Amino acid sequence: MKRRIEIGILLSRSGGYSAISNAKYKGAMAAIAQVNQNPALAVELIPVERDPLGQIDLYAPLCTEILRDSEARHILGCVTSWSRKEVLPVLERAGAALWYAVPYEGFEASAHVVYMHACPNQHLLPLLDWAMPRFGQRMHLVASNYIWGWEINRLAREVVTTRGGEITGERHLSLGETGVDGMVEEIAAIRPDFVMNSLIGPSQYAFVAAMHERMPGVPILSCNLTECELPLMGAASDGLIAAGPYFHTPGAAFESSHEAAGHAAIMEMARLFDAHPGSERLSLAELLSLDANEGPIDPQTHHTSLPALIAQAEGGAFRVLHSLPARPGDPYLTRPDRSQTRQKLRLVT
């Protein structure tokens, strides 16, 4: 008889970034079904679902509710870095864990988070290494006004200026804001070689549409764009360039890296729980140390080893232009082999 293990699912199935959440949800639920139907596995996963509706103030209370009202101690969830930061204190108090399956900005290695998607040495740095020799040295930065945008822009700025490039401007929009005309007019006046786009949700869709109309020839690069959002932009998405660990190809199992990461997170949970009965009640550090050499997750940083792919949108799909083999996640950019780019550390007094 299978051991029943409750796991939390904390994803906003509606709201501005629901396309990403629903892709993760699809991958996670497919993995749960796969685990539960596999007679070779001794575990049955029971999802305990909560939907924050894209409202930041609901994440912590609903995370608390999952941990209070069920036996779940592992939660797949959150899409934005803001929401991840919101639930961290709840996880810390309960000794619970979040499996975070979205690209993020790095510079974090929480004892209560597994980072199942790419961090900057797996998306931004390979993307800039590839883009600058092709497009030029003059980069313009646009981003949503929160943690992801701030940190990606900060790191991109340092990389480009260290290599002798120029930042032609930097603009932020509040989450959900779609008033992009001034931003686009500025780009049209300055004419940078390429734009680094760290907008999310409706802000990104409005920006891409306006740029397609006003400046169709300017390359727009992103580290957080996947197939699940291309239908929301239609023909305006053609030409967009993205970095990530996975892009869908004909016959492939998953339609986007969000779906793939959601699936991988659940499957890795199931593998660990099945191999070590009772391990679902251990701390995350204890769980990951049980077979540190077996899985893809680094037991020290809790980051996942992933390939780095660069692709361009064409007709509602991505075509891979460049690929690099799997590399360990390096959240603090300390490993010497992380990419061609080297980050300078500065003493601040």
pLDDT in the model for residue 110: 97
pLDDT over threshold 70, residue 37: yes
Note the pLDDT tens digit of each residue in 120-170: 999 999 999 999 999 999 999 999 999 999 999 999 999 999 999 999 999
pLDDT tens digits along 81-118 = 999 999 999 999 999 999 999 999 999 999 999 999 99
Write down all domains in the chain, each with its CATH number in brackets.
3-117+254-305 (3.40.50.2300), 121-248+307-327 (3.40.50.2300)
pLDDT mean over 277-299: 90
The percent of residues above 70 in pLDDT, for the chain, comes to 96
The answer on pLDDT for 344 being more than 80 is no
pTM, 2 dp: 0.94
DSSP collapsed to 3 states, the chain: CCEEEEEEEECCCCCCCHHHHHHHHHHHHHHHHHHHCCCCCCEEEEEEEECCCCCHHHHHHHHHHHHHHCCCCEEEECCCHHHHHHHHHHHHHHCCEEEECCCCCCCCCCCCEEECCCCHHHCHHHHHHHHHHHHCCEEEEEEECCHHHHHHHHHHHHHHHHCCCEEEEEEEECCCCCCCHHHHHHHHHHCCCEEEEECCHHHHHHHHHHHHHHCCCCCEEECCCCHHHHHHCHHHHCCCEEEECCCCCCCCCCCCHHHHHHHHHHHHHHHHHHHCCCHHHCCHHHHHHCCCCCCCECCCCCEECEEEEEEEEECCEEEEEEEEEEECCCCCCCCCCCCCCCCCCCCCC
**Tens digit of each residue's pLDDT (9 = 90 or more) over 227-272:** 999 999 999 999 999 999 999 999 999 999 999 999 999 999 999 9
